[in-house]
Amino acid sequence: MEIYINPSKDQWPAILARPETDFSRLRDSVKSILENVKKRGDRSLKEYTLTFDSVDLRELQLPQEEIFTAGDKLTEKLKDAIATARHNIEKFHSMQMPEDMVVDTMPGVKCWMKHEPIERVGLYIPGGTAPLLSTVLMLGIPARLAGCREIILCTPPGEDGSVNPAILYCASILGIEKIYMVGGAQAIAAMAYGTETIPKVDKIFGPGNQYVTHAKQLVSLENVAIDMPAGPSEVAVIADESADPSFIAADLLSQAEHGTDSQVILITIQQEIISNVKKELEIQLADLPRKDIAEGALRNSRLIYIKNQEDILELVNAYAPEHLIIQCRNYAEIGKRIRNAGSVFLGPYTPESAGDYASGTNHTLPTGGYARAYSGLGLDSFMKRISYQEISESGLTSLGATIKTMAEEEQLMAHSNAVEIRLRKLCENI
């Protein structure tokens, strides 16, 4: 843990610097996976699954039966929790349904926008020991609400060749029926290019390791859209003397347990909190199953005392954290002044884990300072906007000269002619 007491502003960039992810050592292997899947399709997917997941698959696609009976293997308690989370996520995301808008920008010049779902989307759910069921909800619910016609899901099989039933259950309640047992860069390639079994999609969503992230980057330069650039997860906590150090420590640890590369930052206006939080971290850390990971992340954590609130706001807006927890007496006021952050958690009883799972907001958020320019996932991430216009005869008569003048200034005579030829026709008809 690095502790900074009133660092000067010129120190901030160094203190808040994020580790740069260097993909160069992965590049060749990711590229060769992409090319191989593009050329050899299903065969290469099965080979990679044998190599990386030690599973010899006969079929890439999971049988429907297995998806629809997955719930039988879950406790009622877990199914109830999933139902509550689903309810809240649906409520928050359905509020985001965009409205088509229309305006006459001039008499006779009618312009509007129509929103359409992206037709084919691919959701990636990483494997590993823990089943990321919450991510199935966070991606699948807005995809369904947006009205995407085809929603497919790729996830690597476990060592026993099966997929965790909690993942399958979440998919099944959302009506996601096309699930493929393939992970890593090869899954991204399959969804980007399509194979004999796996359909090509228009946009790929979901988290993953560095191979997955880099594969998403590379295919996004070709022919498919991706949700957003992804990096290690982050939290910043702003606290004043009203904050409970045990709450702060718990929030920092819940970020730290994600991975040793997680970013964990506390910024406080009261210097004493730092030592109290440190004590609490030690106590709470002792019992964590993922203690080693959390300890690794905490080694890079920053505990910063800054003596005035204006500077704290400036620092946080410059850092643009993925998650921002505000545990201050005046949290509402500070919250209003946040300009750059993925998601903001206000007040003592709003832990980040609420947003990670069940309050309703999306947990797919911009990391690495991307919150300066990107939004978290929303319903609009699964839709696109088409602009329309219809110009009447009189509308073109009014607007024609403007178009012609500008087109001619840009030396694009054919653009001008497309108006001129119509105006001439209108004169003939008079």
How many residues lie near its own copies (CB under 8 A)?
129
Q: Which CB sits closer to its own copies, 104 or 272?
A: 104
CB of 163 vs its own copies, minimal distance in Å: 14
305 touches its own copies (CB under 8 A): no
32 touches its own copies (CB under 8 A): no
Residue in 69, 96, 209, 260 binding its own copies, rule: CB under 8 A: 96
Residue in 158, 194, 199, 351 binding its own copies, rule: CB under 8 A: 351
Residue in 37, 138, 166, 173 binding its own copies, rule: CB under 8 A: 166
CB of 56 vs its own copies, minimal distance in Å: 27
17 touches its own copies (CB under 8 A): no
283 touches its own copies (CB under 8 A): no
Scanning 60-68, 171-179, 265-273, 285-293 for contacts with its own copies by CB under 8 A, the matching segment is 285-293
Q: Which CB sits closer to its own copies, 8 or 421?
A: 421
203 touches its own copies (CB under 8 A): yes
Which residues inside 60-79 make contact with its own copies, applying CB under 8 A?
A: 77-78
Residue in 195, 419, 428, 429 binding its own copies, rule: CB under 8 A: 419
Which residues inside 208-267 make contact with its own copies, applying CB under 8 A?
A: 217, 220-221, 223-225, 229, 244, 246-247, 250-251, 253-254, 256-258
Q: How far is CA 280 from CA 247, 249, 250, 253, 306, in A?
A: 9, 6, 8, 10, 21
Q: Would you name the residues annotated as active-site residues?
A: 322-323
